[in-house]
Amino acid sequence: MRLLIVGTLGGQISAATKIAMTHGAKVAHVDTIEQATAALRAGRGADLLMVDARLDIAALIAANEAEHIVVPVVAAGVGIDPTMAARSIRAGAREYISLPPDPELIAAVLAAIADDERPLIAEDASMKQVITLADQIAGSEASIMITGESGVGKEVLARYVHKKSKRAEKPFIAVNCAAIPEQLLESELFGHEKGSFTGAVARRIGKFEEADGGTLLLDEISEMDLRLQSKLLRALQERVIDRVGGSKPVPVNIRVLATSNRDLTALVRTNEFREDLLYRLNVVNLRIPPLRERKGDLAALGNFFIDKYAKSNGRPARKLSKDGLAQVLAHVWPGNVRELENAMHRAVLLANGEEVGADAIRAPDGAPVGSRNDGFGAAIEAGQAAARALVGRTVSDVEQDLILETLTHCLGNRTHAAHILGISIRTLRNKLKLYSDDGVKVPAPPTGQAA
């Protein structure tokens, strides 16, 4: 994790730096908010800003956002000052830390906001096979595609590969391609020159250059548009990039990892993903099984999260009881590790006995989890039955039927349909255009009647 300290912190810079470095952070320092934005713009990246509460935090955040730089901020001030703390939070800080710094508090803030120290826990044989392959290829320079359902831990595995690689001491930079608007993603990845577009007030170093010497993770790469895929392919092939508005190529030395929770081969067939880019990225594929296929990991993961959230919430140390573990094993976990983590967090807060029992393991709405007869289990069984009925049909035909039926169910509302289908609104619109071009009737908003 990279921490940038902004300001004097009331003379407590040395103490804060020592504590942060003890917990694995790489620390840099600047004096002013202008220097902070300049450092981020120049590619001296940070995962967290610790800012002197006496500085203009709102102005710093606004200056960063104007350059499309988003880095979480915590404020730090001398003593417990409720007025200063409230002002800092209103200005956009995530947290207020009183100085002199408390080691446990700084460690908790670093863990809560950065959250990049997530161990790769594997007790199940299927997951151990994935890790064995990851160990085998981590030391190479090959690009790796990490696939699996949402919430299985794809970024955790990517960080594991980086730490096992020859680039472990260099930056690990992750970019969520689905979270950044299409018109901003190019600048985020490749940077831009001053004046290249409205708002480009200075040169901005992109994530490719920020990751130079290290590893760049392109998370959910299936959401990248075709034009940008072409530029990415050139960067991978020639190891040079072009900043937006730039006049000469910039050499980069990085290893690229990518993740996707969608079938990229199917996207190639529908012309939504470049086949040559898939070949370039998918030198080795690491597929992470869904949690329902790795029952051997459930006890270890459950107890890990219980211990983690007991410490962060000041609760007594506990383990899963026998009936609690039985309930965890019975549930199908459609949200995978992310859902399990949230359930264990709730269980820590709800548990009253010496162990975490079945009564504390509940869904967000308060209903108990763990029965194969619940909605999730029924949905999976229904899905399996439906899948057997689809044998003999092409993937594209089935996909088209699913999209159109979902859209009709949503009365033509594209946003709701995309959410249900688990795809971006951009992807949905592209598919609907293809169907319309082929003469297929597509429900039109807002009535849902055929156009």
Task: State the average pLDDT over residues 271-292.
Answer: 95
Clarify whether residues 309 and 257 are in a common domain: no
pLDDT at 451 (0 to 100): 40
CB 150 within 8 A of CB 338: yes
Q: Which domain holds residue 357?
A: 291-389
Task: State the average pLDDT over residues 416-440.
Answer: 84
- Residue 344 in any domain: the answer is yes
Residues 6+ apart with CB under 8 A from 9: 16, 50, 52, 76, 99
- Residue 120 in any domain: the answer is no
Clarify whether residues 129 and 99 are in a common domain: no
Residues 6+ apart with CB under 8 A from 101: 12, 15, 16, 19, 76
- CATH number, residue 434: 1.10.10.60
Clarify whether residues 397 and 264 are in a common domain: no
Cα–Cα distance, 84 to 98 (Å, whole number) = 10
Cα–Cα distance, 199 to 93 (Å, whole number) = 24
- Residue 118 in any domain: the answer is no
Number of separate domains in the chain: 4
Cα–Cα distance, 65 to 63 (Å, whole number) = 6
Task: Look at the block and give the residue holding tokens 């002013």.
Answer: 32
Clarify whether residues 46 and 190 are in a common domain: no
- Asked whether residue 16 carries a pLDDT value surpassing 90, the answer given is no
pLDDT at 215 (0 to 100): 96
Which of 228, 259, 287 is the endpoint of a domain?
A: 287
What rounded mean pLDDT belongs to the chain? 85
- Residue 119 in any domain: the answer is no
- Residue 295 in any domain: the answer is yes
CB 451 within 8 A of CB 440: no
- Residue 381 in any domain: the answer is yes
Clarify whether residues 29 and 71 are in a common domain: yes
Upstream peptide bond of 100 is cis (omega within 30 degrees of 0): yes
pLDDT at 194 (0 to 100): 84
Task: State the average pLDDT over residues 287-296.
Answer: 95
Clarify whether residues 273 and 329 are in a common domain: no
Which of 224, 254, 287 is the endpoint of a domain?
A: 287
- Asked whether residue 331 carries a pLDDT value surpassing 80, the answer given is yes
Tokens standing for 178?
A: 């689905």
Residues 6+ apart with CB under 8 A from 14: none
Clarify whether residues 420 and 349 are in a common domain: no
Clarify whether residues 132 and 105 are in a common domain: no
CB 238 within 8 A of CB 124: no
Clarify whether residues 283 and 313 are in a common domain: no
- Residue 361 in any domain: the answer is yes
- CATH number, residue 134: 3.40.50.300
pLDDT in tens, 152-197: 999 999 999 999 999 998 989 999 888 787 778 888 899 888 877 7
Longest dimension (CA), the chain: 71
- Asked whether residue 199 carries a pLDDT value surpassing 80, the answer given is no
Clarify whether residues 396 and 326 are in a common domain: no
Which of 389, 408, 429 is the endpoint of a domain?
A: 389
- CATH number, residue 338: 1.10.8.60
Cα–Cα distance, 206 to 173 (Å, whole number) = 11
- Residue 135 in any domain: the answer is yes
Is 421 in a helix, a strand, or coil? helix
Task: State the average pLDDT over residues 345-351.
Answer: 91
- Asked whether residue 406 carries a pLDDT value surpassing 80, the answer given is yes
Clarify whether residues 130 and 254 are in a common domain: yes
Clarify whether residues 217 and 282 are in a common domain: yes
pLDDT at 42 (0 to 100): 85
